[in-house]
Amino acid sequence: MNKAFNLFLLPVLLLLASPSCGQNQTAEVSFSISVNESVRESMSPDGRLVIYLSTSDDRQPRYGYVSSSNQAFAQNIEGWNAGETKELSSDNWSHTSTWDLNQTPEGVYFVQAVWNQYADFHATSPNSGGNLASEPVKVTIDGEQKISLELTQVLPETEVADHKLAKVFSMESPVLSDWWQQPVELKASVLLPPGYNENAEKKYPVRYNVAGYGGRYTRINRILQDSAFMAWWTSGDAPQIITVFLDGGGPFGDNYQLDSENSGPFGQALTEELIPAIEEEFNIEGSANSRFVDGCSTGGWVSLALQLFYPEVFNGCWSYSPDPVTFEHMQLVDLYNQENAFTNSAGYLIPSMRTTSGDPRFSIKGEVTWENVFGKSGTYVTSGQQWGAWNALYSPKGADGLPKAIFDPESGAIDQEVAEHWKKYDLLLYTRENWNELGPKIQGKIHVWMGDMDNFYLNNAMRQYDAFLEETANPVSDAEIVFTPMEGHCSLYSHREILEKIQARLNSLQEE
């Protein structure tokens, strides 16, 4: 999940208030968008144009985060000749705000345009590398106005930093390429133990790390730039374990590392292609006994799901703050028994995020309204963000070739036929229904941590999962599930601690 915690993933979720411009009057705003000659060769003719209006100059508007002072407007454009200036009226824009461009509150704005041309199969966000953007422009709107913006930059791709202990691995996936009928590349980054390059014959255990929502393999850079971690890693005291950082990119947002009717066989690609290829390339022992998986938020759910769905591939998972493990508690929504995902039985908007003191920060309706703007279909189904990715993984494919929506993007009405399909990925249902066969295979392998004030209400689902495990027999579950009072989302997650826990499990296995 990691919605607000990975700020590059989920900008500007609130649609609630008009920007606080200090004005009651409104004006009609239109746009004139040109493409600088220097980037025309990089432009595709079809895409989705996103215009950001922000009342803050703290950062570029396209990096906006949860705040009613930022708004976004978008529309699809086909056949845009790069040499053509687009004259766009105030009509036909999807918008995150309660107002449209015919009634823009007067005031001072910072305005920026992004041309999302979906340049990367694995990245659908407007801020993804390969898309085009303008520089922010300060504009005072005090009457009918046309705003001129020029697309002048190609957004750069993030590269893995040059370091002797960091490697990049890539391969074309035969199963995904066949499924999509186009070449699909899988990537990962690898953190090697110190001394690896001098010990060509030594074999190492391996940890597969799954990112928070949408995290790419390039997140290894954060580890390399963490001076405290790297000092420990190279001190000789750290476990001699190779870490592989999996890539969360996918055609509908995070791929969740699992097979899906919409995204394709990512689970098969991981377990049958990527893992064997990486373990052959590097000095990895290559057995399930020495293979582990971990992650937080989305990575917490995926690591737990991988351990459950592939119990003999991994020998332990460390899951922190996992996404909802049962859809009876899809955050605060019971998808199986409620009629609406936006409002509860009392008619109140259902919150999606809170502070650890319980103060709600934004609603599911506001979140989905934002995603509707960024979806090229005009709905969250293709937003590439959190609800869109959940929906792509769990839902069946619709007649239009897109994932069927779990709920109506405007009203929030839940489709119970789609919810029935989601049960295939309900980890509580899966564990309960398969316990006699699954239980013995996951003994000693399940380690979960959850803050009891999780910012996205994920503790409710995990409490229900824990209650089931407490009642198991034949075998009695030995899963370690820890709840910490007043802690929030991923607050105690630590790469160092995970590595030390994996080493402790390895030590205990050697003693058996």
Biggest CA pair distance of the chain: 77
For 364-392, what is the HEC assignment? HHHHHHHHHHHCCCCCHHHCCCHHHHHHH
Tokens of 106: 């007067």
Q: Name the DSSP letter for residue 350.
A: P
Joined tokens for residue 125: 């966000």
Model pLDDT, residue 120: 80
**152-183 core/surface letters (b: 16 or more CB in 10 A; e: else):** bbbbeeeebeeeebbbebeeebebbbebeeee
Per-position pLDDT tens, the chain of length 512: 765 444 333 333 333 334 444 447 999 999 999 999 999 999 999 999 999 999 988 889 998 754 567 899 999 999 999 999 999 999 999 998 888 999 999 999 999 999 999 878 888 889 999 999 999 999 999 999 999 999 999 999 999 999 999 999 999 999 999 999 999 999 999 999 999 988 888 999 999 999 999 999 999 999 999 999 999 999 999 999 999 999 999 999 999 999 999 999 999 999 999 999 999 999 999 999 999 999 999 999 999 999 999 999 999 999 999 999 999 999 999 999 999 999 999 999 999 999 999 999 999 999 999 999 999 999 999 999 999 999 999 999 999 999 999 999 999 999 999 999 999 999 999 999 999 999 999 999 999 999 999 999 999 999 999 999 999 999 999 999 999 999 999 999 999 999 999 999 999 988 76
* Residue type at 64 in one-letter notation: G
State the Cα–Cα distance between residues 57 and 121, nearest whole angstrom.
Answer: 31
**Where does 399-467 show beta strands of DSSP type E?**
446-451
DSSP codes of every residue in 79-118 = S--TTPPEEE-SSS-EESSSS-GGGEEPEEEEEEEEEE--
* Distance, first Cα to last Cα, the chain: 37
Q: Model's pTM, two decimal places? A: 0.93
Question: Please, are residues 183 and 177 in contact by the beta-carbon 8 Å criterion?
Answer: yes
Contacts of 281 (CB under 8 A, 6+ apart): 169
Domains delineated in the chain: 26-154 (2.60.40), 166-326+426-511 (3.40.50.1820), 328-425 (no CATH)
Asked if 142 contacts 108 with a C-beta cutoff of 8 angstroms, the reply is no
The amino acid occupying position 221 is: N
Tokens of 150: 């020029």
Rounded Cα distance, 426 and 444, in Å: 22
**Burial bucket for residue 498 (CB in 10 Å: 0-12, 13-18, 19+):** buried
Q: Dihedral (C-alpha) 295, 300, 302, 308: value to the nearest 10 degrees?
A: 110
Residue indicated by tokens 């779990």? 406
Angle 137-106-48 from CA coordinates, rounded to 5°: 50
> Is residue 393 within 8 Å of residue 263, measured between CB atoms?
yes
In tens, the pLDDT along 357-415 reads: 999 999 999 999 999 999 999 999 999 999 999 999 999 999 999 999 999 999 999 99
Taking the CB of residue 124, how many other CB atoms lie within 10 A of it?
26
- Residue 103 phi/psi, 5-degree rounding, is -135, 50
d(CA 62, CA 113): 8
pLDDT, residue 272, reads 98
Sign of CA dihedral 34, 36, 37, 43: negative
Q: How many alpha carbons fall within 13 Å on the CB side of residue 209?
A: 26
